[in-house]
Chain A
Amino acid sequence: MNAMPKAIAIAQAAPLLRVDKLTKSYGHVVGCRDVSFELRRGEVLGVVGESGSGKTTLLNCISGRLPPSSGAVEFDTSRFGLTDIYGLNEPDRRRMQREEWGFVHQNPRDGLRMRVSGGANVAEPLMNLGNRHYGKMRSATIEWLERVELDTRRIDDKPRNFSGGMQQRIQVARNLIHGPRLVFMDEPTGGLDVSVQARLLDLLRELVRDLGLAVIIVTHDMAVARLMADRLIVMKDGFVVETGLTDQVLDDPQHPYSQLLVSSVLQI
């Protein structure tokens, strides 16, 4: 497992992901336009903006699920080095997604197999990597359930018997067990109540730090962005209107829209 401490990982020079002039339009409707950025190992990038700003389109394009209209998404694959992911053939791309990436969906139903047990959901990525030893997979699964603070006695329960927060933990374990280098998160705490959300965020923070993961997290929640992200991309109408260090964007936003976004957060 990649256990490189975050700071050391980030300091390494080569980008892990490079997005270059990415544009996706649906007919004449723009999903996102001309987005460029780089992500390094261990770096957490937050993508913020209101609904319809193009966050999800961007995430889907970057994560290999939606071919862009133009522009490139390059990832430092372990097999081919820095490669345009849409230039790979489909089996190689699927293999890379399976082996080197994780994707945590907002709705656990999109990210879990609801008909098989939580334990099998967590173990599946290992089987996808060719692991054929039940006992070893079982203990790895138990270890991960402990890491995401789930009761290991419930390992064989179906996801529907878990609460929303627990389902999300199962999803997190499922997306980290195979030691990915890049994890995409789409509003990972979206459907959860605040206390559950806080626990999950802490957990994610710790895991990201301990595993040296690179993360792209899409959220409309500025508190989540502040807690999780090293830096932010602010999107509006498909464009990136501002980017910078998380605390700089949130404490001294430059663009009118960022200022509006930050000042719209309710204080308690």
Chain B
Amino acid sequence: MTARPNQPERYYNYAYLDEQTKRMIRRSILKALAIPGYQVPFGSREMPVPYGWGTGGIQLTAAIIGPDDVYKCIDQGADDTTNAVSIRRFFAQVADVAVTEDTGKATIIQTRHRIPEQPLKAGQVLVFQVPQPEPLRGLEARETETRAMHAYEEYGLQYVSLYESVATYGRIASTVGYPTMVDERYLMSPSPIPKFDNPKMGDNEAILLFGAGREKRIYAVPPHTSVRSLDFEDYPFETQTWEEDCALCGAEESYLDEVVLDDAGTRMFVCSDSHFCADRRAAGHIGPMADHELAALETEPA
């Protein structure tokens, strides 16, 4: 039917990108790791998916992946969404790697807009897909100016957006892409992860890599680096909380997605991290709607 990956008739170069490109990207990654939070420009390539579908993350993964890696890919926390499934199959094919949904077993986890609930360990790499790497872009359109602001650590402007938020909503209302300060030097967009995940970035054991394909930027947070979410003295940073627990696994501390169940407006809250939820259920944790049909769906293999 189809050629097995890594056989002589394999159609693409290993991990899709040619070796020179991977070298170029690796050099950019090293620079990004050396200057935590700094946006390193790189020669982003055309990928076989449209911009906005994870071209930055795919290129990062392609540059660092090897046959011994175990690859996991999630989209909004879920392993079984179309985008995650497609990218996972892509690397299974072009890089001949084992794939997994198990956060603990993966060596490379590519993610769109979430950080897994299970704490990461040394040796793991979390690859973020980034639509807009420049946190100041919404306030300052000129790239020359934002670069100068980063160079001279002029970050007052970022607080203007927080000020607006407090003025309008009485609190800092932004919930995703919440701006952070890396190693008390570079202002960094965490990609559109929920601010719930922001505290997980600080002092993480794993390497965090961020790739923006369309914007041609790579940046990184090396292990054990401080990542501080910006705030005001009188309006400190806080994460989202829910009154509900996960309807399926009963988790109290995880990031929940709201799922509308019918036209009457019935809804349930479930863990956004599908593997985390399934793991807990397998371990015997039971939520109030554990026997719902969605629970059955999620246990099916991708």
| CB-CB contacts below 8 Å: B230-265 with A | 232-235
**Which residues from chain A contact B47 at a C-beta distance below 8 Å?**
none
CB of A87, distance to nearest CB on chain B (Å): 17
Q: Mark A81-119, 1 if CB is under 8 A from B, else 0.
A: 000000000110011001000000000000001011101
Nearest-neighbor residue (CB-CB) of B158 within chain A: A127
- Contact residue among B148, B151, B159, B168 (Cβ-Cβ distance under 8 Å from A127): B159
A256 an interface residue at 8 Å Cβ cutoff? no
A129 an interface residue at 8 Å Cβ cutoff? yes
Contact between chains at A115 and B139 (CB < 8 Å): yes
Contact between chains at B160 and A116 (CB < 8 Å): yes
Contact between chains at A116 and B159 (CB < 8 Å): no
Contact between chains at A117 and B164 (CB < 8 Å): yes
Contact between chains at A133 and B233 (CB < 8 Å): yes
Contacts A90-B148, A115-B139, A120-B164 hold; do A133 and B232 have CB atoms under 8 A apart?
Answer: yes
Nearest-neighbor residue (CB-CB) of A125 within chain B: B156
A27 an interface residue at 8 Å Cβ cutoff? no
A117–B166 alpha-carbon span in the complex (Å): 12
Contacts A94-B152, A113-B139 hold; do A134 and B235 have CB atoms under 8 A apart?
Answer: yes
Contact between chains at A133 and B234 (CB < 8 Å): yes
CB of A131, distance to nearest CB on chain B (Å): 8
- Contact residue among A119, A128, A155 (Cβ-Cβ distance under 8 Å from B156): A128
**Which residues from chain B contact A247 at a C-beta distance below 8 Å?**
none
Main secondary structure of the interface of B (DSSP, over half): helix
Contact between chains at A127 and B163 (CB < 8 Å): yes
Contact between chains at B152 and A156 (CB < 8 Å): no
Q: Which of B162, B168, B234, B235 counts the most A-chain CB atoms under 10 A from its CB?
A: B234
**Which residues from chain B contact A135 at a C-beta distance below 8 Å?**
234
CB of A108, distance to nearest CB on chain B (Å): 17
- Contact residue among A120, A129, A138 (Cβ-Cβ distance under 8 Å from B160): A120
Q: Which of A90, A116, A117, A133 counts the most B-chain CB atoms under 10 A from its CB?
A: A116
Contacts A117-B167, A128-B157 hold; do A134 and B234 have CB atoms under 8 A apart?
Answer: yes
Contact between chains at A132 and B167 (CB < 8 Å): no
- Contact residue among A90, A119, A132 (Cβ-Cβ distance under 8 Å from B159): A132
Contact between chains at A130 and B148 (CB < 8 Å): no
A162–B161 alpha-carbon span in the complex (Å): 20
**Which residues from chain A contact B279 at a C-beta distance below 8 Å?**
none
A72 an interface residue at 8 Å Cβ cutoff? no
**Which residues from chain A contact B154 at a C-beta distance below 8 Å?**
94, 98, 128
A173 an interface residue at 8 Å Cβ cutoff? no
Q: Mark B130-160, 1 if CB is under 8 A from A, else 0.
A: 0000000011000000001001101011011
**Which residues from chain B contact A123 at a C-beta distance below 8 Å?**
160, 163
A91–B150 alpha-carbon span in the complex (Å): 11
Contact between chains at B163 and A134 (CB < 8 Å): yes
**Which residues from chain B contact A137 at a C-beta distance below 8 Å?**
163
Q: Which of B156, B232, B235 counts the most A-chain CB atoms under 10 A from its CB?
A: B156
Contact between chains at A116 and B164 (CB < 8 Å): yes
Number of interface residues of A (CB under 8 A): 26
CB of A113, distance to nearest CB on chain B (Å): 7
Nearest-neighbor residue (CB-CB) of A135 within chain B: B234
**Which residues from chain A contact B159 at a C-beta distance below 8 Å?**
127, 132
A124 an interface residue at 8 Å Cβ cutoff? yes
| CB-CB contacts below 8 Å: A142-192 with B | 155-156
A98–B155 alpha-carbon span in the complex (Å): 12
Nearest-neighbor residue (CB-CB) of A138 within chain B: B167
A168–B36 alpha-carbon span in the complex (Å): 41
**Which residues from chain B contact A128 at a C-beta distance below 8 Å?**
154, 156-157
Nearest-neighbor residue (CB-CB) of A93 within chain B: B152
**Which residues from chain A contact B166 at a C-beta distance below 8 Å?**
134
**Which residues from chain A contact B161 at a C-beta distance below 8 Å?**
116
A137–B159 alpha-carbon span in the complex (Å): 11
Contact between chains at A127 and B160 (CB < 8 Å): yes
CB of A170, distance to nearest CB on chain B (Å): 14
Q: Which of B148, B151, B232 counts the most A-chain CB atoms under 10 A from its CB?
A: B232
Contacts A94-B148, A132-B232, A134-B235 hold; do A156 and B157 have CB atoms under 8 A apart?
Answer: no
A135–B160 alpha-carbon span in the complex (Å): 14
Contact between chains at A155 and B232 (CB < 8 Å): no
**Which residues from chain B contact A127 at a C-beta distance below 8 Å?**
156-157, 159-160, 163
Query: B residues within 8 Å of A by Cβ?
Result: 138-139, 148, 151-152, 154, 156-157, 159-164, 166-168, 232-235
8 A-B pairs with least C-beta separation? A128-B156, A127-B156, A91-B152, A134-B232, A127-B159, A133-B233, A135-B234, A120-B163
For the A-B complex with A115-B139, A127-B163, A134-B234 known, give 9 more contacts whose Cβ atoms are closer than 8 Å: A90-B148, A113-B139, A113-B160, A120-B163, A127-B157, A130-B156, A132-B233, A133-B234, A137-B163
Write 14 A-B pairs (CB below 8 A) sorted by A numbering.
A90-B148, A94-B154, A117-B167, A120-B164, A124-B160, A128-B154, A129-B156, A132-B233, A133-B232, A134-B162, A134-B166, A134-B233, A155-B167, A156-B167
